[in-house]
Amino acid sequence: MTNYQLTVEERTLTGKSSNKKLRAEGRIPAVVYGSGQEATHIQADARDVERMLSGPVNLVDLTLGAGKKTVIVKDVHRHPVKGHLLHVDFYEVDLTKKLEVTVPLRLVGEDGRPSDGGVVEQHVWELPVLCLPSDIPSVIEVDVSGLELDQGLTVGQLQLPEGVEALADPEELVAKVVLPQGPAEEEAEEADEAAEAAEASEDGGAEA
C-alpha cells in the first residue's frame, strides 16, 4: 500500500486561542513526535486530514518544508458532541525497526457457517501486534466460516499476515458461536450479575 502524502506547515503559535483560529480557517493543529526528536508543532488542511482518516491508511509521508517524515497516526482528538476534528498526533517511525500498534479485527465468513441456529459473538475488536511499519495491516480478518455451535477462535489460532506477531494472550477468546439469548435469558443474566455485585459489595463492607 502506497503511503498517504500529506503536506503540512510548522506552527509557531500554540494554545487554545491560536488553535481555535486555525480551525476557523479550515486547518487542524497537530504534533509530530518520536524517533528521539523533540515534538514539532504543525498544521494541516482539515479536508486533507479527514480524507486521510477516511481511508485504509497505515503510513503517512509528511512533507514539511524541504524535509519529509514517515509517520503513523497515533491519536485523533474530536469534539465530544459535534464530532469535528480538533487535533491529531503523529508518531515518526523508523522503517527498519518493529513497533507495537493496535489493529482492528473484522469477522469474515459468517455466511459460510453451518445452519445450526448459532450466532457469532465477537469478544475482541482490536489486537496489539508487533511488526515493521511497512507491514502494519489495515485490518486483520478473522475467518469464522469453519466454526460450529459452541466452538471459538483464540488469538493463537488467528491467521496473521507475514511479519506480524500478536502481543495478546494466545488463549484469549476472539469469537465464539453461541445460541442467541431471548429477552428473559438476558434479564436473568443481568439479575445474576447485579446480585453478584451486591454480594461482593456486602463482603467488602463486612471486611472493612
User: Where does the pLDDT of residue 186 fall: very low under 50, low under 70, confident under 90, or very high at 90 and above?
Assistant: low
Please give the CATH architecture assigned to the domain spanning 100-183. Answer: Beta Complex (2.170)
Q: What is the pLDDT of residues 63-72, one digit of tens each?
A: 998 889 999 9
User: Where does the pLDDT of residue 208 fall: very low under 50, low under 70, confident under 90, or very high at 90 and above?
Assistant: very low
Of 16 and 89, more confident: 89
Q: Amino acid letter at 146?
A: G
Domain ranges of the chain: 4-93, 100-183
The rounded distance, in Å, linking the Cα atoms of 129 and 175 is 18
> pTM of this prediction?
0.73
Q: What is the pLDDT of residues 97-139, one digit of tens each?
A: 999 999 999 999 988 887 888 899 999 999 999 999 999 998 9
By percentage, how much of the chain surpasses pLDDT 70? 89
Please name every residue paired with 53 in a beta bridge, in sequence order, or none if there are none. none
74: Cβ contacts below 8 Å, ≥ 6 apart:
89, 90, 91
Q: What is the mean pLDDT of residues 53-57?
A: 85
Q: What is the pLDDT of residues 149-180, one digit of tens each?
A: 999 999 999 999 999 999 999 999 999 999 98
pLDDT at 46 over 80: yes
Please give the CATH architecture assigned to the domain spanning 4-93. Answer: Beta Barrel (2.40)
Q: Amino acid letter at 131?
A: C
Using alpha carbons, select from 56, 51, 53 the residue that is nearest to residue 141. Answer: 56
Please name every residue paired with 9 in a beta bridge, in sequence order, or none if there are none. 43
pLDDT for 201: 62
The overall average pLDDT reported for the chain is: 88
pLDDT at 207 over 50: no
